[in-house]
């Protein structure tokens, strides 16, 4: 073997085999990595499209709340005019305006996909930092809005609900409001308690409640406008990413 140099030939053959095995492993790893990258990208695009759908629904929901709260602001300001001396002539309108404030609603964001991403630990799948940061900023705006809503809820309980329960008979008020809103299809057309309304208009705390409603609904609408703008920015970023 030494004479015909067989050990050297065997060593070259062995080294060649090792190189081929290593190259094969590297190719297999590269193929596997490519497959994993492709699968991750497919998941990312799936999430991005779902986020985009949520955002579009959210924009519509936000606009609905802005429109509703804008009407509530008008109602609050009309009620305040009566506290400041405007004669109480149209009881139906006055009743509708006060109940518009009493029945205010909280806003709930449509962010199902974002919640799924965070709860599953898959937020890292979003590779575009601008999209990820804007999503987190939108969530921060939402938390600020919820804080403002909680603040008004406290004001409403102290300044509106508690004092009104002491002077207003809610039964005819609710029946009349239901009748008005449904245009006579439901509810009951009843006589409204003028004396109770006039007593209510002498209560400074209730006036302050409507003042706070006008102010805080305006503030919340500004927050909603900011959220709507952020949603539109996100949609544009996602459109650029999925092209």
Residues 6-31: tens digit of each pLDDT: 676 677 777 877 887 788 788 877 77
Full-model pTM? 0.82
CA distance linking residue 171 with residue 165, whole number of Å:
11
**pLDDT value, residue 2:** 47
- Across residues 219-241, what is the average pLDDT? 96
Task: Judge whether residue 161 has pLDDT over 50.
Answer: yes
| Band (183; pLDDT cuts 50, 70, 90) | low
State pLDDT tens for residues 30-62: 776 667 677 888 899 999 999 999 999 999 999
**pLDDT value, residue 29:** 76
Q: How far from 13 is each of 3, 6, 19, 24, CA to CA, in Å?
A: 18, 10, 10, 16
| Band (184; pLDDT cuts 50, 70, 90) | low
Give the alpha-carbon dihedral of 23, 24, 28, 29, to 10 degrees: -30
Q: Identify which of 117, 108, 151, 104 has the alpha carbon closest to the alpha carbon of residue 49.
A: 117
**pLDDT value, residue 113:** 95
Sign of CA dihedral 158, 159, 163, 164: negative
State pLDDT tens for residues 90-124: 999 999 999 999 999 999 999 999 999 999 988 98
Task: Give the residue extent of every domain in the chain.
Answer: 6-241
CA distance linking residue 218 with residue 82, whole number of Å:
20
**pLDDT value, residue 106:** 95
- Opening angle at CA 88, ends 77 and 217, nearest 5: 15
């Amino acid at each position: 073997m030494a004479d015909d140099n067989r050990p050297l030939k065997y060593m070259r053959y062995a080294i060649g085999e090792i190189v081929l095995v290593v190259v094969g492993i590297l190719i297999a790893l590269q193929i596997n990595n490519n497959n994993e990258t492709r699968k991750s990208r497919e998941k990312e695009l799936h999430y991005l499209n779902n986020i985009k759908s949520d955002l579009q629904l959210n924009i519509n929901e936000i606009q609905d709340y802005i429109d509703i709260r804008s009407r509530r602001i008008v109602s609050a300001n009309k009620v305040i005019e009566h506290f400041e001396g405007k004669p109480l002539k149209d009881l139906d309108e006055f009743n509708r305006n006060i109940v518009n404030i009493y029945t205010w609603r909280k806003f709930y964001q449509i962010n199902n996909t974002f919640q799924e991403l965070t709860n599953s630990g898959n937020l890292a799948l979003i590779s575009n930092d601008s999209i990820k940061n804007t999503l987190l900023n939108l969530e921060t705006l939402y938390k600020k809005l919820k804080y403002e809503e909680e603040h008004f809820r406290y004001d409403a309980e102290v300044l509106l609900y508690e004092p009104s329960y002491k002077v207003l008979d809610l039964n005819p008020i609710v029946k009349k409001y239901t009748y008005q809103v449904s245009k006579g299809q439901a509810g009951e057309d009843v006589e409204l308690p003028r004396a109770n309304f006039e007593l209510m208009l002498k209560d400074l705390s209730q006036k302050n409640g409507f003042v706070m409603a006008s102010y805080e609904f305006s503030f919340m609408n500004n927050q909603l406008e900011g959220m709507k703008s952020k949603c539109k920015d996100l949609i544009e970023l996602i459109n650029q990413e999925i092209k």
